[in-house]
Chain A
Amino acid sequence: MTRRPARLRARRLLASSATYTLAALVALVFLAPLYLVLITSVKGTAESGTMSFALPASWHFDNYLTVITTGDSLQALGNSVLIAVGVTGGTVLVCSMAAFVIARRPGRVTGGVYSYLLTGLVAPFAFIPAIRLLQQIGLGGSYLGLILTDIAVQIPFITLTYVGFIRQLPREIDEAALLDGAGSLRLFFTVIFPLLRPVSFTALVLVFTYAWNEFQNVLFLIPDADRWTLPMTVFTFQTTHSFDYGLVCANLVLTMLPVVAVYLVAQKYIVSGMVAGAVKA
């Protein structure tokens, strides 16, 4: 009688220590690279060269100041903000509007439009011809061309998300607003759009991080380095400062910071957005 609980306890102890060991291992694998970049970012030129786990002999927080003042970081930050805000705002606006009509007015036209937009989920974006196409319509290498392209890439998925959500909203809401004499624009912007807040927030976070991190379109569509986004300038910065890992790492940290902030604030929405997105697929 006494043997059994003891064995059970031993097994439980074994299981929980295995859990903690594995958890520690996983944490190590994910945190060690981040620790390395953080610690190297405050090391001096000579010391950072070996990129070790050791704490710095002297702390060089001025690396960050150097990056901000010498590189194109500020210009690139401005570009990133402009592009990310433009893409996010544009995508949320055009997708929620289209999804509203698709969800509310089922029929051959809306069904056809919906299927048409969804082809973008399967077909890859043809970036090579996009270069010449943008040139020919006068948007070659411009912010606007890149923003509209990024929006187009995001339209299928975000529209899908909105349609699913709007179909769940009761129609009585629309009818009440219509009885109050609201037109279609007012109905949408003052009544419906505020109700879409949960899905808009998810879309906001997903599209913002996409636009912030997006690389391929910037590389191919924007030849002018002055218009590059932060992640792109990390590349040029690395080539010019390859001798000083401290500076390069400080630059990497500065580039990661905004998305880490967004992530910590909006974690819940990101996760629900990813789950919803994949289940829909």
Chain B
Amino acid sequence: MSLAATGRREASPGSGRKQGRGAHRGDGARKSSGRADGSGVVRTYRYAFLVPAVAVFTVFFLLPAFFGMYLSLTDASTFVPDTRFIGLDNYRLMAGDSSVLWNATCSQFAYAACVTVGKTVLGVAIAFLLDRTFRGARFLRVVVYLPIMFSTIVVGLLFGYILKADGPLNVLLKPFGLAQDWFGSFDLALYSVTAVDTWMGVGWTVVLVLAALQAVPAELIESAHLDGAGPWQVARHIKIPYIRHAINLAALLTFITGMKAFDMIYATTGGGPGTATEVLTSYVYKQLNTGALGYAAAVNVFQFLMITAVALVINRFVRRMEATA
């Protein structure tokens, strides 16, 4: 879920917003525990406890990444067991396919950008709505969060039916002349998929922004009211600046997730029509179906490097924002 960890800020679970305090308390406890230091520490807090996590993480997460670099230099196939070292041939092949790859990369960025704008704008709006007190607010919150729990495949299939050319949405829109071939149109398909993704994931942004909104000190809002500020002014000049950090964070994490998006596309359009919604992973999947493991690995390496680079840049961004905040 969260990818841009800096490692130096652990929040206290449960009251995550006020990280600083938890960390300080931890420091205090460490210093005051004179007795457990020295040989007691070595016997009590054994390094052996680290081994299972490190072993599983190394073998099943990190090793594939390095193994992939090797595979990308071979003619490995899913059909034949033996592989031959072929140098940079797969990468030359990639360069030959550069227009296809470029198209997939652009789609991936466009997808990430659309999802980020959609989830952030609507998420902030819904969070403001849920921050008001009205009857049914709790129920509405449950409803908005619910789709996060569903499988992307299930949501994708469901909307595949709803957005069909003769599906229920078009039946509703037809009298107004707004019916569209949502997933079948070359121009619309990518946006339709991001809309479904937004429907499913906007609740996550709402969770974050609403938590931040509810942490805005009541005195701040009250004193603004006393100064004669209306609800819009309070929102713009008091609340938004106060929750800007949460909004930025939600947007950036949404973007990274969008850079890896595949499930929703696979479940709705499968990359089509044509290559209108083809992203990097769906391209890789297609290559894999032809058995070309080595080539798929090469594309995977490219994807890996690109996502890591984007994530690092974003990480930088978050840190700098934290420093200025």
Contact = CB atoms under 8 A, between A and B. Distances in A.
Contacts of A263: 145-146, 149
A16 B137 CA distance: 12
B249 to A, nearest CB: 6
B176 interface: no
B36 interface: yes
Nearest to B41: A105
A271 interface: yes
Nearest to A145: B60
A235 B73 CA distance: 34
A167 B23 contact: yes
Interface string B238-262: 0000000010011001000000101
A222 interface: no
Contact of A275 (B208, B231, B263, B267): B208
B103 interface: no
A212 B78 CA distance: 27
Contacts of A126: 64-65, 67-68, 300-301, 304
Q: Which one of B6, B13, B67, B152 has the greatest number of beta carbons of chain A within 10 Å?
A: B13
A231 B154 contact: yes
Nearest to A218: B153
Per CB-CB distance, the 10 closest pairs between chain A and chain B, nearest first, are: A164-B10, A129-B68, A167-B26, A276-B16, A152-B60, A281-B2, A98-B53, A231-B151, A213-B151, A171-B33
A129 B249 contact: no
B144 A30 contact: yes
Interface string A72-106: 00000000000000000010011101101111111
B53 A198 contact: no
A152 B207 CA distance: 26
A118 interface: yes
B9 A280 contact: yes
Contacts of A267: 142, 145
A172 B35 CA distance: 10
Nearest to B301: A126
B5 A174 contact: no
A231 to B, nearest CB: 4
Interface stretch (B43-51, B93-101, B106-114, B218-226): B43-51
Given A36-B162, A114-B7, A94 B56 contact: yes
Nearest to A137: B59
Contact of B64 (A130, A163, A216, A259): A130
B212 to A, nearest CB: 9
B158 interface: yes
A188 B49 contact: yes
Given A132-B76, A153-B61, A160 B146 contact: no
B79 to A, nearest CB: 12
Given A168-B26, A234-B157, A175 B36 contact: yes
B12 A133 contact: no
B293 A132 contact: yes
Interface string A44-68: 0000001111000000000000000
A106 B30 contact: yes
B147 interface: yes
A133 B145 CA distance: 37
Given A159-B53, A164-B13, A271-B145, A281 B300 contact: no
Interface residues of B, dominant DSSP: helix
A234 B153 contact: yes
B293 to A, nearest CB: 6
Contacts of B273: none
A15 interface: yes
B22 A168 contact: yes
A278 B30 contact: no
A281 B253 contact: yes
Interface stretch (B177-185, B186-194, B307-315): B307-315
A245 to B, nearest CB: 7
Given A30-B147, A121-B2, A277-B2, A128 B249 contact: no
A213 B150 contact: yes
Interface string A226-250: 0000111011001000000100110
Contacts of A109: 47
B49 A98 contact: yes
Contacts of B63: 133
B14 interface: yes
A143 interface: no
Interface in B267-308: 267, 281, 284-285, 288, 293, 296-297, 299-301, 303-304, 307-308
A20 B153 contact: no
A33 B154 CA distance: 12
B104 interface: no
B154 A234 contact: yes
A142 interface: no
A121 B13 CA distance: 18
B56 A275 contact: no
A234 B267 CA distance: 11
B71 interface: yes
